[in-house]
Amino acid sequence: MLLTAVPRPQGCTAALIGEIIKGTGQNTEVEVYNLNAMNIRGCQSCYACKKEGRCILQDDMQPLHRAIAAADGIVLGTPVYMWQMSAQLKQMIDRLYPFLKPAYSSYLTPGKRVLLAVTQARSDTELFRHYFEHAGKNWYF
Ligand SMILES: Cc1cc2nc3c(=O)[nH]c(=O)nc-3n(C[C@H](O)[C@H](O)[C@H](O)COP(=O)(O)O)c2cc1C
């Protein structure tokens, strides 16, 4: 499964994602979701996912929750915006809250592989490493 948070369909992140898809080989089933074109609202902090086990928002995150749960691996593509992930990706990440148990582990079956595919303009490839490594450790996939 591939999630792209990319406004520019002909941009660098889309090109990187294209190379990743090519590299997966023919036996891998790849589903691509373009977060930029999806209707995914921000978390409303109602805690219904904790109290009732479901998200109250009816939008494109519902099928995405199911697809994420079913996927063996997830690739997240984003450009760096203002030293961080894009807002499109962050909006989706916040909506992963239903997967989070009270003791900060995940309801998802363990063993999913997650790859972050990030592009940036600055030439120093270390500049944003700490941010993405820290963020990526806490997504409860
Ligand atoms: C709003 C905005 C903020 C950006 N912030 C950064 C940044 O903090 N650091 C950086 O290296 N590049 C930054 N960039 C540049 C993009 O990360 C870079 O050009 C990226 O490869 C664009 O991806 P795309 O071609 O898929 O759109 C920013 C670009 C935009 C539009």
**pLDDT value for 97:** 95
Q: What is the pLDDT of residue 27?
A: 87
Radius of gyration of the chain (CA): 15
Q: What residues does each domain of the chain span?
A: 30-136
Q: Which atom of ligand 1 is nearest to the CA of 80?
A: 17
d(CA 112, CA 109): 7
Q: What percent of the chain has pLDDT over 90?
A: 81
Mean pLDDT of 16-20: 94
Average pLDDT over residues 11-16: 96
Tell me how far apart the alpha carbons of residues 110 and 104 are, in angstroms, rounded to a whole number. Answer: 14
CA 54 to ligand 1 centroid distance, Å: 35
pTM of this structure:
0.94
From atom 22 of ligand 1, which residue's Cα is the shortest distance away? 79
What is the average per-residue pLDDT within 64-75?
94
pLDDT computed for residue 44 by the predictor: 98
Question: 30-136 adopts what CATH topology?
Answer: Rossmann fold (3.40.50)
Question: Which residue's CA is the closest to the ligand 1 atom numbered 1?
Answer: 81
The CA distance from 19 to 25, in Å, is: 11
User: Which residues contact ligand 1 via a Cβ below 6 A?
Assistant: 6, 8, 11-14, 79-83, 119-122
At 92, is the pLDDT very low, low, confident or very high (cuts 50, 70, 90)? very high
